[in-house]
A and B are shown apart, each in its own frame.
Chain A
Amino acid sequence: MEQIEKHDYLQAHQKQPISQLVRSRKETEQEKMVKAETDEQHNEHQYEQNELEAEPGERGRKKPQTLACFSCQIPLKTCAEDSTIPVAKTGLPVWMLGLAADRLRADTNRLLAFLFHQGILDEQFLQLQQLEDETSPNFVSEVVNIYFHESEKLLRNLRSLLMDREFSDYNKMGIHLNQFMGSSSSIGAKRIRNVCVAFRAASEQNNRAGCLRALELLEHEYCFLKNKLHELFQIQQQRALAAGVRYPMQN
């Protein structure tokens, strides 16, 4: 995670309770979304203008994109026409790649705000992110991928135990559950942890029906979390690639 973004999280986290942090992030994200929509509308308007001004035979044809400055609408020269424009390896002006990076950053923030607001993740996930640095830049994704791998084994074990008609070994189930609960709480998977608490309560009462219900809910919550975290890591991967393209290595 970029140092600036991590700093933002830390600053907010240290000064505000998580609920306020999530609320203020939501407000910030809403402002960004409104701005993004306004920019998109402006781009569409610009394209429509270009279409109207085009020769009749050229309308609707795929033409080279006419780029214009969003604020002053002066047409911009392409990199081929103007050698003073710094060019990334893609051939696009460097300033354009910044837009993609900003969009990806907004996507990351939006997704995280959603996950915190819905109670899917808690501040322990922030703690995990704080452990990431230049020496371990992929620490969070490494830990989470191990969590996924182990959790799926534990869920299979729990289902296998409960599906057994002669099941009676609640102690064994408790062992798997403790494992799942421990690792879930360590990565900040708050909703999963809460379901594990309910599951453990049912297990301690030897309530098989309650355990089955809890297991189904657990499997559902786990799938949801896994999808969302995969999405988050994909966006972060794209950001890393965009950063690499935007600031290409100088030979």
Chain B
Amino acid sequence: MAAQGRHGGKKSNKMTALVVDDNTVNRMIHHRLLDNLGIENVAVVNGKEAVDIHCSGKTFDLILMDMDMPVMNGIEATRQLREMGIRSMIAGVSTRSMEREIREFIEAGLDDYQEKPLTMSKLISIIHKING
């Protein structure tokens, strides 16, 4: 049986990540950032697909969750993943900067929040929290 990582991901040499964002440009950039760090990653286009991929049995060390998405937004998706017992690092990534909006997102179950645009240094700071 595969050992569990600190945040519930399958422990292996290669870290894994899930990008959840409805915007194609953001998905491409986040995918490339993760690729450059040697992190295997998959991208989905809304919160429902993020929940569904976990229901299929897949788990990830890191989830980059956008807030505003159609079908199911990031707040609702985060809430559902936590209710399912997913303990992966979930980092919210959004253009929102108002405190009350961010607080609602964090209270849904985020481990971290970063304002867009996501940069390499922001991503590294998120990853340090996984390994720390």
Binding site for B on A (CB under 8 A): 124, 127-128, 130-131, 136, 139, 142-143, 146-147, 150, 175, 178-179, 181-183, 185-188
User: Inside 8 A of B118's CB, which chain A residues have their CB?
Assistant: 186
CB atoms of B26 and A182 under 8 A apart: yes
Task: Contact check, A188 vs B117: say whether CB atoms are below 8 A apart.
Answer: yes
For A185, give its contact among B36, B68, B117 (CB under 8 Å): B117
B70 within 8 A of A: yes
Q: Are B95 and A143 in contact (CB under 8 A)?
A: no
List the count of A-B residue pairs having beta carbons below 8 Å apart: 57
Instruction: Evaluate contact between B95 and A146: CB separation under 8 angstroms.
Output: no
CB–CB B29/A131 < 8 A: yes
Instruction: Please pick, from A128, A143, A179, the residue contacting B22 in the complex, using a CB distance under 8 A.
Output: A179
The 8 closest A-B pairs by CB, nearest first: A183-B25, A186-B117, A178-B68, A185-B117, A131-B32, A124-B117, A181-B95, A147-B25
Query: 29 A-B residue contacts at CB 8 Å?
Result: A124-B117, A124-B119, A127-B120, A128-B29, A130-B120, A131-B32, A131-B33, A131-B36, A139-B32, A142-B28, A143-B28, A146-B24, A147-B25, A150-B24, A150-B25, A182-B26, A182-B68, A182-B95, A182-B116, A183-B24, A183-B26, A185-B117, A186-B23, A186-B25, A186-B26, A186-B117, A186-B118, A187-B25, A188-B117
Q: Which residues on B are within 8 Å of A, measured CB to CB?
A: 22-26, 28-29, 32-33, 36, 66, 68, 70, 94-95, 116-120
Q: Is the interface of A mostly helix, strand, loop or mixed?
A: helix
- Which partner residue on chain B sits nearest A193 by CB separation? B95
Report chain A residues within 8 Å CB of B120.
127, 130
Q: Cβ of A175: which chain B residues have Cβ within 8 Å of it?
A: 68, 70
Provide the bound-state CA to CA distance between A175 and B68, in Å: 8
Known A175-B70, A187-B25; further 7 A-B contacts with Cβ < 8 A: A127-B117, A131-B29, A150-B23, A181-B95, A182-B25, A186-B25, A187-B29
Q: Which residues of A contact B23 (CB under 8 A)?
A: 150, 179, 182-183, 186
Cα-based distance from A178 to B22 in the complex (angstroms)? 11
Q: What is the CA–CA distance of A183 and B95 in the complex, to the nearest angstrom?
A: 10
B117: which A residues are within 8 A, CB to CB? 124, 127, 185-186, 188
Question: Within the assembled complex, what's the spacing in Å between the Cα atoms of A243 and B117?
Answer: 33
Minimum distance in angstroms from A157 CB to a CB of chain B: 13
Give Cα distance in the complex from A131 to B24, angstroms.
Answer: 16
Q: Which of A130, A142, A186 contacts B116 (CB 8 A)?
A: A186
- Which B residues are CB-close (under 8 A) to A181? 95
Q: Within 8 Å CB of A178, what residues of B?
A: 68, 95
Residues on B with C-beta less than 8 A from A131 are 29, 32-33, 36
Contact A136 B68 (CB under 8 A): no
Contacting pair A186 B24 (CB below 8 A): no
Chain B residues with Cβ below 8 Å from A128 are: 29
Once the chains are docked, how many angstroms separate the CA of A147 from the CA of B26? 9
The distance in angstroms between the C-alpha atoms of A127 and B24, with both chains bound, is: 17
Query: Which chain B positions have C-beta within 8 A of A182?
Result: 23, 25-26, 66, 68, 94-95, 116
Contacts of B28 in A (CB 8 A): 142-143, 146
On chain A, the residues within 8 Å of B116 by CB distance are 182, 185-186
By beta carbon, the residue of chain A nearest B98 is: A204
Whether B29 and A186, one on each chain, are in contact in the complex, defined by CB atoms closer than 8 angstroms, is yes
Q: How far apart are B47's CB and chain A's nearest CB, in angstroms?
A: 14
C-alpha spacing A136/B68, complex, angstroms: 29
Whole-angstrom CA separation of A179 from B66 in the bound complex: 11
- Closest beta carbon of chain A to B98's beta carbon, Å: 10
